[in-house]
Structure 1
Amino acid sequence: MRKPAKPRITKPHLKWAWNKRRSVWEPYHRVTWTEGGKRRERAVKLDWQGDAERLDALYWECAAGKHEKQQAPAKQTWRALIDAWRKDPRVQGKLSEGTKKTYRRDMESILEKNADKDVRRLTKSAVRAAHAKLAETPRKADRFLQTVSLLWNYGANKLDWPLGDNPTRGVDHYGKQREYEPWPQWMVDALDKAPEDVRTAAFLILNTGQRPNAAITMKFSDFDGDWMSVLDEKNDERMEVYCPAELRAFIASASRKGAYVLAKNLTQPRGYWAVSKAFRAWRDDLGPKAAKYVLHGLRKLAIIRLAEAGCSDAEIQAVTNQSAEMVAYYRARASRKALSRSAQQRRT
């Protein structure tokens, strides 16, 4: 194939090089100088895509030293900041495993899109936008703010990075949220017509008494006869809990599409957010009266049902691993119902 003529576009420092593999002429902004008696050169390839106007813009960007390839890589990146925080024994030695796991989730989310970005470029408006985007899950939103603030302060105070004002300052938290509402019986009954993933997830949460994510990601191998192995996510600890007969029967009859009860494929579980999305769509179909209920409310309903069955606080904690304060709070809900029933029945 005959080599085509070199483009006639000429400018100072604009050089054309023939790319044999692609059989095209490629433009470079090339500058040479002598330093310490040696010839030095810096060349930036211009992705002009055959467009003279684009080439002109790229050329003058290089002439001004503003082309992205002329910028020194950022040293104060989110990756460097998070790595330093994770490796600092002064920090890690003060945190519980559950707290570390909570921070780890948020930090992985930050790294996913911002690992090599300069921390100093984060703005308050960007923080507000990210916080608002998580408004449907206010606890998660506020935890995100807390994580960003923690990292920023660590970089400024422990690494002596010139970060300036913390961009989370002045961004209002959603604040302490009310406790999750236990599901009413009519909503539990409505599960009969829910999508299979929602129905299965709800059954697992209610009958194991565990946090939604821990219940949703249970394996068939976690069930062994009368017992089940459950994960306390907060403390990153596994416990052996007695498995109720109804749940044993459910697991025995469940179709096996993989290692997990809620399987994405043979080796992976359905993600919590995929199940949550399906749940919210089903909940929306139930109308406004269902809007305040979330999957976590089934865990609270489990406490109430155990209390109504006559279980002691210690027994409820052995099943759900909830704090004594939380068990007492929801036991009171159960006690009020029982007392009101007794009182109203006396009227007749």
Structure 2
Amino acid sequence: MGRRDLRGLKYLHAFIDRHGKARYYFRRNGKRTPLPGSIGSREFMDAYAVCLADEPAKSSRRAAAAPGTFAALAVSYYGSPAYRDLATSSKANYRRVIDGFLQEHGHRRVDQIRREHIDAIIGKMANKPGAGIVLLKRIRTVVRYAIAIKWLRHDPTLGATSYRSKEFHTWTEKELAQFEARWPEGSRQRLAYTLLLYTGQRGSDVYRMSYAHIDGDTIEVAQQKTGQEDSDEKLVIPMHRNLRRELSLAKRKHVVILTTAYGQPFSLKGFGNFVSDAIQAAELPARCKAHGLRKAAARRLAEAGCTAKQIQAITGHKSLEEVERYTRKADQMLLARQAVAKQENNGGS
């Protein structure tokens, strides 16, 4: 890869080691992270995408944590196998939420936390119910770690409730057609939509996909949420003809498939905003979110008669429970149509 391509990767630096081998690292705000593999390879681009999506720390120095406090507990937890064994993306998400909690409550003693304190903390997040759900999960994470290392004897989060999680809306065929009518084939918006819909993956995996992941008529996916990027358990998904066509029309400017208007890789947040803007421009209802395309992919597969196992082979769900909901709904719809058809054919009114 030439010098021009190297400059196209933001924050990327390179040097030749004493053995004459090219070495690459990601450097931002003084933090330097080595990147594995050769430039453009799967492992290289996955590591680069994670670094790019990582928000730089607001402060490089933090006051020493007082013994027995949540701040001290977090330091211990971050050094534990329970945290270190998490997938790279999960580590970043856990730390973001826990560090946010520490900003207000890090000075409080762990052994003095009570159920009513948990309720009060979560209760303040009525305007952000989704964040409240996640915060309660992460408080439970550190509290149960505290129990494991004998800082606590009882779990103060037991019985604590958060806001009900709202299920993502599954896009209808009419909504899919409306998006396609607004964004023609060959546009960046249509490419992002097609990757989401025809791979059935989360946005956190789609924005990182590179041309190095494509092998003939298949695309390889290492799901961050399930920790597959740190293992050999990767999905190999045959590409639907609509996806192959869209990729053939794409203006290839980078090793990463989806890029900004300036030809640079997206951050995860930037990709989310890009898709949200495209949905809004298509004048779709607010219920239509990027994740709903993953659900639409599973719905279509179920309606095509795919088994739960076959759908799971595409979406990569670890549990069959959610996948089976799609097949049950599709079976119900099919049986209902057959019932009405029989009624009509029998002359029923």
Settle same-fold status: TM greater than 0.5: yes
Partner of 1:261: 257
Q: Is there any run of 5+ residues in structure 1 with no aligned partner, and where?
A: 1-71
Report the Cα offset of residue 105 of structure 1.
1.2
- Which residue of 1 is the match for residue 287 of structure 2? 292
Counterparts of 1:117 and 1:267, CA distance in 2: 42
What letter matches 2:75 in structure 1? Answer: D
Q: Does 1:223 align with 2:211?
A: no
Runs of 5+ unmatched residues, structure 2: 1-62, 229-233
Q: Does the 8 Å contact 2:97/2:138 carry over to 1? A: no
Kindly provide the amino acid, as one letter, of the partner of residue 301 in structure 1.
A
Asked whether the 8 Å contact 1:205–1:216 carries over to 2, the reply is no
Aligned pair in 2 of structure 1 residues 327, 157: CA closer, same or farther (>3 Å)?
Answer: closer
Q: Structure 1 residues 128, 218: closer, same or farther in 2, change over 3 A? A: same
Change (3 A) 1:337 1:129: same
Q: How does 1:260-279 map to 2 (within 5 A)?
A: 260-264=256-260, 269-279=265-275
Alpha-carbon distance change, 85 to 113 in structure 1, aligned in 2, over 3 angstroms: closer
Q: CA deviation at 1:260?
A: 1.7
Higher RCO structure, 1 or 2 (CA under 8 Å, sep 6+): 2
Q: Secondary structure at the match of 2:257?
A: coil
1:33-44 equivalence runs, <5 A:
none
1:314 corresponds to which of 303, 309, 313 = 309
Deviations 1:220-271 (A, max 9, x none): 2111211110123332122222222221221222122322222248896323
> 3-state SS of the aligned residue for 1:119?
coil
Do the aligned residues in 1 keep the contact of 2:213 with 2:220 (CA within 8 Å)?
yes
- Looking at structure 1, the residues matched to 219 and 101 of structure 2 have their Cα atoms a distance apart, in angstroms, of 38
Tell me: CA distance 1:106–1:292, structure 2 relative to 1, closer, same or farther (3 Å): same
Residue 249 of structure 1 pairs with residue 245 of structure 2:
yes
Change (3 A) 1:154 1:113: closer
Percent identity between matched residues is 25
SS in 2 for 1:228: strand
Q: How many residues align?
A: 265
Contact 1:257 1:266 in 2 (8 A): no
- The counterpart of 1:175, out of the listed 164, 170, 189, is 164
**Per-residue displacement from partner, 1:134-191 (whole Å, max 9, x unpaired)?**
43xx2x5312222124324545873749xxx96x78874013544x332111110121
What SS class does the counterpart of residue 164 from structure 2 fall into? coil
Alpha carbons 2:308, 2:324 under 8 Å: kept: yes
76, 85, 101: which one aligns with 1:84 = 76
Q: Distance in 2 between matches of 1:328 and 1:181?
A: 17
Report which of the two structures shows the higher radius of gyration computed on alpha carbons.
1
Show the counterpart of 2:333. 337
Indicate how the Cα distance of structure 1 residues 114 and 200 shifts in structure 2: closer, same or farther if over 3 A, else same: farther
The one-letter code matched in structure 1 to 2:175 is M
**AA paired with 1:187?**
E
1:160–1:249 distance in 2 versus 1, CA, 3 Å: same
Return closer, same or farther for 1:173/1:319 CA change in 2, 3 Å cut-off. same
Q: TM-score, normalised by structure 1?
A: 0.61
1:83-103 CA distance string (max 9 Å, x none): 3113334x469xx746x8536
Name the amino acid aligned to 1:190. Q
2:192 maps to which of 191, 201, 205: 201
Q: 1:78 touches 1:114 (CA, 8 Å); kept in 2?
A: yes
**Is residue 2:121 matched to residue 1:127?**
yes
1:236 and 2:232 are equivalent in the alignment: no
TM-score (norm 2): 0.61
One-letter amino acid of the structure 2 residue matched with residue 107 of structure 1: R
Cα 1:235/1:148, change in 2 over 3 Å? same
Change (3 A) 1:281 1:252: closer
Q: Which letter maps to 2:121?
A: V
Task: Give the Cα separation in 1 of the matches to 2:108 and 2:162.
Answer: 22
Residue of structure 1 equivalent to 2:231: none
Structure 2 counterparts to residues 99-178 of structure 1, below 5 A: 102=90, 104-111=92-99, 118-120=106-108, 127-128=121-122, 131-132=125-126, 134-135=128-129, 138=130, 140-152=131-143, 154-155=145-146, 158=149, 160=151, 172-178=161-167
